Amino acid sequence: MLMSRLFGSTLREAPAGAEAASHALLVRAGYIRQLGQGLFTYLPLARRALDRIERIIREEVEAIGGQEITMPVVNPAEPWKASGRWSSTGAELTRFRDRRDRDMVLAMTHEEIVTDLCRSEIRSYKQLPKLVYQVQTKFRDDPRPRAGLIRVREFTMKDSYSLDADEHGLEIQYQAHKEAYGRIFQRCGLPVREVGADSGMMGGSTAHEFMYLTPVGEDSIVTCPSCGYAANRQVAVFRKDAVSPASAAPLARVATPDCTTIDQLAAFLHVQPSQTAKAVMMMAAREGETGTEERFVFAVVRGDMEVNETKLANAVKAERLRPATEEEIRAAGAVPGYASPVRLDPAAVVVVDDIVPGSPNLVAGANEPGFHLLNTNVPRDYAPGIIADIAAWRWGISSSWGRDTARPWERRSWMRTG
């Protein structure tokens, strides 16, 4: 086709508000136009590129036995209510009522619907395994769409569903998918990293993501060149340096004026952050028989680490977490900036990172403004309800890309991904 007849035009300047170079280039080259926040029209050049990508995806998925179907994007609410995701999924799931006043959703994924479909189509285990997939427009009401097409509300997604008689069959299908996805990215010329990931709202025991490294990405991954380990920061495990063993010293109250952060506290007392206990207070929500139930969660990690909210949510089996308000913190017997699990309301769920019980004499809040407690120890001074890996490596918190941090025993890299 002649450029003079092509629908759409090129632009000399990048649009106002373009955060990423890719966004600006796609608009200037006449590939996309923005309709609203996280909503884009794909012009003919972009549509051609998408068609080619979809063709590659179809060829590779069908090479492992996939059969394409199309399920409705508008779903009745009943299957979602039966699975529990009607109530457990937040505002990103678009809910509405039709003219007959029935609850409906715009599906972001189709586990419920394909399960309902299989009730009628699969009558015996002898019909298994089966693999069905679709390439479909989805809508997710993301609260923070950004960077052009990197984070949008409406997008095209390929989702496939394997139907197997046992775990062995599931593992075979899972590995086949991993290999197929690798070939898809290779054919598209995209260098990606396969990393461990959280299974998220889809559930399951194992998940992997294919990450493309970019300075404007949305996630962080941690890698180890020595052993090849790679995982999304949400689920990454790492070696936690133990502190020197010591006998439990007597509990002591000490004045710490204007020390509401770990760095301020460590500087004032002339101690290392690893000798302190960091408190993070959240409200954990899950659906019960009477509706949404919330519990106050008091999480404790060592001061040289951060709380990993994904790990914490998994530890307390929460469907959602949100920061506790000042009123909720005080109602539990804690004081913002000086909070401690010592003498906390028994109804609170105290969760400590698995390195904390082996870290003696930590400095923690005294639940009194301007004061901390020296030498807190588990379980002498407080008994946690849950002990689990809930920590994230504090050194990994950075807005820079490709940052490497070296330690005597390993080298790990933190990278932004999209």
Report yes or no: 374 and 408 within 8 Å, Cβ to Cβ: no
Q: For residue 279, is it left (φ>0), alpha (ψ between -120 and 50) or beta?
A: beta
Residue of higher predicted confidence among 412 and 9: 9
Q: Is the pLDDT reported for residue 208 higher than 80? A: yes
**pTM of full prediction above 0.85:** no
Residue of higher predicted confidence among 1 and 68: 68
Query: Across residues 37-53, what is the average pLDDT?
Result: 94
Q: Return the CATH number of 51-190, one of 3.30.70.890, 3.30.930.10, 3.40.30.10, 3.40.50.300.
A: 3.30.930.10
Alpha helices for 278-364 (secondary structure H): 309-315, 326-331
Instruction: Please provide the average confidence, as pLDDT, over all residues in the chain.
Output: 87
Q: What share of the chain is helix, strand, coil (3-state, %, to 5)?
A: 25, 30, 40
Query: Across residues 222-242, what is the average pLDDT?
Result: 81
CATH homologous superfamily of 252-388 equals YbaK/aminoacyl-tRNA synthetase-associated domain (3.90.960.10)
Report yes or no: 108 and 140 within 8 Å, Cβ to Cβ: yes
Confidence of residue 203 (pLDDT cuts 50, 70, 90): low
What integer pLDDT is reported at residue 90 of this predicted model?
80
What integer pLDDT is reported at residue 414 of this predicted model?
39
Confidence of residue 162 (pLDDT cuts 50, 70, 90): very high
Nearest-CA neighbor of 216 among 409, 25, 412, 7? 25
- Listed by start position, the domains of the chain span 51-190, 252-388
What is the per-residue pLDDT across 133-150, written as a single tens digit (0 to 9) for each?
999 999 999 888 888 888
What integer pLDDT is reported at residue 393 of this predicted model?
73
- φ, ψ of residue 181 to 5 degrees: the values are -65, -40
What is the per-residue pLDDT across 283-341, written as a single tens digit (0 to 9) for each?
998 765 566 788 999 999 999 999 999 899 989 988 889 999 999 999 999 999 999 99
What integer pLDDT is reported at residue 395 of this predicted model?
52
What integer pLDDT is reported at residue 407 of this predicted model?
29
